[in-house]
Amino acid sequence: MILTWYIFRQTLSNSIISTLVITGIIWLSQSFKTIQLIINKGAGILEFFILSSYSLPSWLLLAIPFGTFAGCMISYLKLQNDQEILVMKSAGVNPLTLSKPAFFIAILASLILFIIAHFVMPKTYKNFKVLQDDIRNSSESLIIRDNIFIDLNKYQTIFINSLNENNELEEIFIQDRSDRDLVVEFFSKKGNINFENNIILSMQDGTRISTDPKGRSTILNFKSYDIEIIQDKNKKLTRVVEYNEYKFFELLRKSKNAKDNKGKLLAEAHSRNTIVFMPLVFCLIVMVTILKDNFTRIFSIYKKTIGIGLLVIIQSFVLIIKNAVHSNINFLPLMYIFPILILITCVYLLSSNYKYYGVLLFIKRNNK
């Protein structure tokens, strides 16, 4: 019991830290789009953190399995390098018993994933998309700032050199790509924005340059020119609901009447279940890699390589199977069979006398 608690405590702390680090990396990589949206639409820092909090459950679905893998790998490699695993084995502790603390953590991670995937993520992802679209479509959020390029919408980009206290714009540049056959650019000395009905930018003393796909340009000087920025602020755009916003049974119900996207709906629905297997699979992969033999520290390099290699291969097959279900629902059982077979194989290897020492020794000799 003391031994189990000792390993459990180390592995749990390393898994939590690894999960937090991976979540932080995902947050940094994904936050650039959110920051750009906040800057372009003039929303505040509060909206940024709300959007990030709504995205957190989706990030955890990816971070928790890999964090569990990293935590188990770090903890058990440390135990091996400190010769603690060797001492435990010498005392008669078998690999399956040594794996129990990590397996308990993997079960805990799987339960958390199940709750997030089925109950938390659909709600928070829907809130994220609603708030994101509200920020994009709200005319009140259209705040012009000076000395920065701002994407007003999908087709229009604006740059203002200065903005005075009366909200009058000076030295304006606008690129309009709403016409497929023309790229229109406006250069104006001054202007202002009218929010009454449609959002209209009125420019004075400027130049309009139209360029066709062949590079031919037409130049027009104007005293006054009005350009519509976005649609009527009272007009609500229809939002396309994404699969992540539906719960498990909602996806199943929609798949019954679906034709073209039936495979995608079923794959998304059942991936909410199969993701629960991932912490268990990754944990047992680490256990088989590390605990089956007693090696010197030199072999820990090969164990890391094999463990990470198996992780990449397994995750690749999971994605391949899921994509196969998109086009052919007959592959759906493989989403469950594949991880279950890996679990059974790992438990068998841990409980048997099988050793792969010869494989690692062969690798080592060939690298000399």
Judged by phi (left if over 0) then psi (alpha if -120 to 50, else beta), residue 150 lies in beta
Contact 40, 152 (CB under 8 A): yes
The DSSP result for 289-313, as a single string, is: HHHSS---THHHHHHHHHHHHHHHH
> Strand 149-151's sheet: what is its strand order?
149-151, 156-163, 169-176, 183-194, 200-211, 217-228
Rg (CA), the chain: 28
| Alpha-helical segments (H) within the chain | 2-41, 45-81, 84-90, 95-115, 121-137, 248-257, 262-274, 277-291, 298-327, 334-351, 357-366
Nearest to 196, CA basis, from 219, 228, 167: 228
Q: What is this structure's pTM?
A: 0.73
Delimit the domains of the chain by residue range.
2-136+241-366, 143-228
* pLDDT string in tens for the chain (368-residue length): 677 889 999 999 999 999 999 999 999 998 887 887 777 666 778 889 999 999 999 999 999 999 999 999 999 999 988 888 888 888 888 888 899 999 999 999 999 999 999 999 999 999 998 898 787 666 444 556 667 777 777 788 888 888 765 667 888 999 988 888 889 999 999 998 776 666 788 899 999 999 998 889 999 999 999 887 754 344 444 566 889 999 999 999 999 988 889 999 999 999 999 999 999 999 999 999 888 764 444 556 677 888 899 999 999 999 999 999 999 999 999 999 999 999 999 999 888 765 544 444 444 455 55
What is the helix (H) or strand (E) element at residue 190, kind and residue range? strand 183-194
DSSP category for residue 245: G
With 0-12 / 13-18 / 19 or more C-beta atoms within 10 angstroms meaning exposed / middle / buried, residue 268 is: buried
